[in-house]
Structure 1
Amino acid sequence: LIESAHKYASLDVRFLYARLTALCLFLDDSIENGLFDDVAMFSHRMYLGQKQQHPVLALYQATMQELSDIHGNDTVLRDLAVLPFIVHIDACMIEMTLEVSLNTRGDTRDKTSQQNLPALAPKFPHYLRSKSGIAEPYAALVFKASKEQELPLIRYVRALPDLLFFLEVNNDVLSFHKEELAGETHNLIHLRTQSLVSVRAKGTGPDGHWTTQDTVQLLCNELSETVLRIDGLFQLEKCERKMRGELEEKDGVDDLDDVDLQIARQWRIARDGNIAYHLDCKRYKLEFLKQAVMDGN
């Protein structure tokens, strides 16, 4: 993912993110396999300055400290890049605790079973997703490709909510096929389906009931709109025309400076790289979708 979506990042930054990403995946998968107590105490020990008892958690904390150092005195980007890795550990515990209570009474894929599901507030699926996900560090990486790079906050902060939505939901939509094959139902798509069923949203299922496929289509539409907004905020098309030498003075070529071009360039590779990573990675089992894209479908 780091190599695909953040090619402009320096080697040291890419290495830190790759290490943290791998550790997050390992810890998330290991909570139920002997690490529960240590993971549960991770943030507490960190806040009190106590030593982490498990070597993997000690490495995780040390790597976060290295990432913090990369950001120097840039408080905003440091908070975006580092804090979510701390919250992620606690959120995994929350997610595991909620998984049983949210999914034991029904299945969002079955109309009859849907009636047994507990009602969810419409915003709850995205709330839980934002807690357990770690989109913010990868958003920060779009604007801090190296220790030396300094991009003014005012140029990109307005796009952050949309950028976070893209990173989270793009992953969830492109992970959905793999999770369906594995029988997983505790994800954004099933939870949002559950919340929309709760408010009796009209869908394409029998008798107009809302289905998971309706949710997938809804999220795809929202993703498309989000990407277009980010492209517009970063003046992507105009910046790329300037980089290709196609802009003239009458087109506003002088309105764009090096900072605009850097942000546009790094956003483009992050946008396309995130999608390409999911299509190329065998973990997601999307060979059929990649072929359809290549065939122009």
Structure 2
Amino acid sequence: MGMDMDMFTLFSDEKYSCLDYHDVDGLDDAEKREIMEVMNDAIYHFLKAAGYIHINQEKDTLLRARLWEWAEAELTSATGHDINSLEPILEQGVTVSEYYYPFASHELRLCMAQGTTLALSADDFFLPPAAREELPYLQCRIWQGLPPGHEWCGMFVDMIKDFTELYGAQDPLIGTLGATGWANYIDGWCLESRLSYFSPRSNGKENIASDPCLVEGFPSYIRGITGAPWPYAVAIFKPTRGIEVPYRLWLPYVPVVIATINFINDILSFPKEVLKGDLSNYVSLTTRTRRAMRCPSRFRGDGSLWTVRDTLCDTYEKCLNNIHSLDRAFIVGSADLAGNGGTTPTREFLDTMLAATLWASFKQGYTAWHLNCGRYYLQSVRHRLEAVSGKPQHTTNGNGV
């Protein structure tokens, strides 16, 4: 995996000076368009440094049929939307399973597609007011043994139960880790929607003296629960009900896996969040926190405080380091075992090879999904990558290993 340039050198280019701001509220439409353009360029160089080659995944027709049947029978009633209105989130839910988990069985793919679709129905405001009012109580009612307060909440609880049974089939603790991640996602979404209390609209004017100094770890904490990384991380290493990578081979790396899942999404979603004027995302919160801590900018020698450019560069650097570390842990580790000789592969070798295959396919598919999803406005990055590698590469769905 070659690195075209280090990320600090990349962001030191004068064209990235448009990122020397701290509050998206102070940007006009022309400035937002300029930022989106230069960030697409930065994303391209980041993906090249990560060794990414773009792919297009083939559609899983059976999975799509089953997901649409489920939505028609249940989700339309729970959300008050007809199937045509739900089409955008259904498409995103099904493609998540197609791209993230190309070797997973049908039942596990369907479970992740349903979970993603339900999460998106909340995140994209498809829920009726009565359901949104019940969201803060969803997990509270679970622990009290009370029935869900709304039909949609009941669907979400049923999805968590199915996830727990499927992914805990070999080890109940693994199923529980992912299940609590789903439940915490709803709490995280509710907390994020309240972050306006911490992020007053300032119209570009800053008063650090009155700005709450959130602890340095807070942006990562809130990001960790709103991104629901645990269910998606658990699902990487269990392709079928009866086959999974022993947790001793991947659990020690799970903090880095989770951080990488979040960082890649933060990087690839940043252009759309600028356009939306989002104040509660990881980049905005981190920038505000570092400024409140009086951290100086790495790019300006005049004593100026930390800016969005600093946060983005820091995020890019951390994400690349994580990717290379995980590649060494899973992919290089399996190659080392293969080089030890022997005619009969050991159980450890087979498990390590499976972990390497599943991690590599997830990393590739997770990135490709974002590039192919219209909500992220990354078409120019995708076209540029396709031009470099020739026509788009296609992979065939495994539907189980």
Fold-level similarity (TM above 0.5): yes
Q: Which residue of 2 aligns with 1:62?
A: 158
Q: Which residue of 2 aligns with 1:145?
A: 239
* 1:103-128 superposed Cα distances (whole Å, 9 cap, x missing partner): 21537xx5x52636432211110011
Q: Which residue of 1 aligns with 2:115?
A: 20
Q: Is the CA contact 2:178–2:234 (under 8 Å) kept in the aligned structure 1?
A: yes
Q: Which residue of 2 aligns with 1:186?
A: 280
1:49 is aligned to 2:113: no
1:227 is aligned to 2:320: no
Q: Is the CA contact 1:114–1:197 (under 8 Å) kept in the aligned structure 2?
A: no
1:162 to 212, 231, 256: 256
SS at match of 2:206: helix
Aligned-pair CA distance for 1:294: 3.5
Q: Which residue of 1 aligns with 2:366?
A: 274
Aligned-pair CA distance for 1:82: 0.7
Q: Is the CA contact 1:105–1:118 (under 8 Å) kept in the aligned structure 2?
A: no
1:83 is aligned to 2:180: yes
Instruction: Summarize the Cα distance change of 1:114–1:159 in structure 2 as closer, same or farther, 3 Å threshold.
Output: farther
Amino acid at match of 1:19: Q
1:200 is aligned to 2:294: yes
* 1:175-197 superposed Cα distances (whole Å, 9 cap, x missing partner): 11011111112100000111111
1:136 is aligned to 2:230: yes
Aligned-pair CA distance for 1:73: 5.2
SS at match of 1:289: helix
- Unmatched runs of 5 consecutive residues or more in structure 2: 1-95, 390-401
How many correspondences in the alignment? 288
1:263 is aligned to 2:363: no
CA RMSD of aligned residues (A): 2.6
Q: Equivalents in 1 of 2:333, 2:169: separation in Å?
A: 32
SS at match of 1:63: helix
Amino acid at match of 2:316: C
Q: Is the CA contact 1:114–1:194 (under 8 Å) kept in the aligned structure 2?
A: no
Q: Which residue of 1 aligns with 2:212?
A: 118
Amino acid at match of 2:275: L
1:287 is aligned to 2:379: yes
* 1:76-102 superposed Cα distances (whole Å, 9 cap, x missing partner): 3112211111111122222222x2212
Q: Equivalents in 2 of 1:210, 1:21: separation in Å?
A: 35
Amino acid at match of 1:11: H
Which stretch of the first structure deviates more once superposed, 174-183 or 52-61? 52-61
Q: TM-score, normalised by structure 1?
A: 0.88
Identical columns (%): 22
SS at match of 1:113: coil
Aligned-pair CA distance for 1:27: 2.0
Instruction: Summarize the Cα distance change of 1:10–1:17 in structure 2 as closer, same or farther, 3 Å threshold.
Output: same
Q: Equivalents in 1 of 2:381, 2:109: separation in Å?
A: 28
Q: Is the CA contact 2:256–2:322 (under 8 Å) kept in the aligned structure 1?
A: yes
Which stretch of the first structure deviates more once superposed, 15-24 or 66-75? 66-75
Tell me which protein shows more helix as a share of its residues.
Answer: 1
* 1:139-185 superposed Cα distances (whole Å, 9 cap, x missing partner): 00111111101322211111100000011111111111011111112
* 1:172-229 superposed Cα distances (whole Å, 9 cap, x missing partner): 1111101111111210000011111122222225833321122111101100000111
- Unmatched runs of 5 consecutive residues or more in structure 1: none
Instruction: Summarize the Cα distance change of 1:124–1:248 in structure 2 as closer, same or farther, 3 Å threshold.
Output: closer
Aligned-pair CA distance for 1:17: 0.7
Q: Is the CA contact 2:185–2:227 (under 8 Å) kept in the aligned structure 1?
A: yes
* 1:16-53 superposed Cα distances (whole Å, 9 cap, x missing partner): 11101110111234478442332122122222332223
Q: TM-score, normalised by structure 2?
A: 0.66
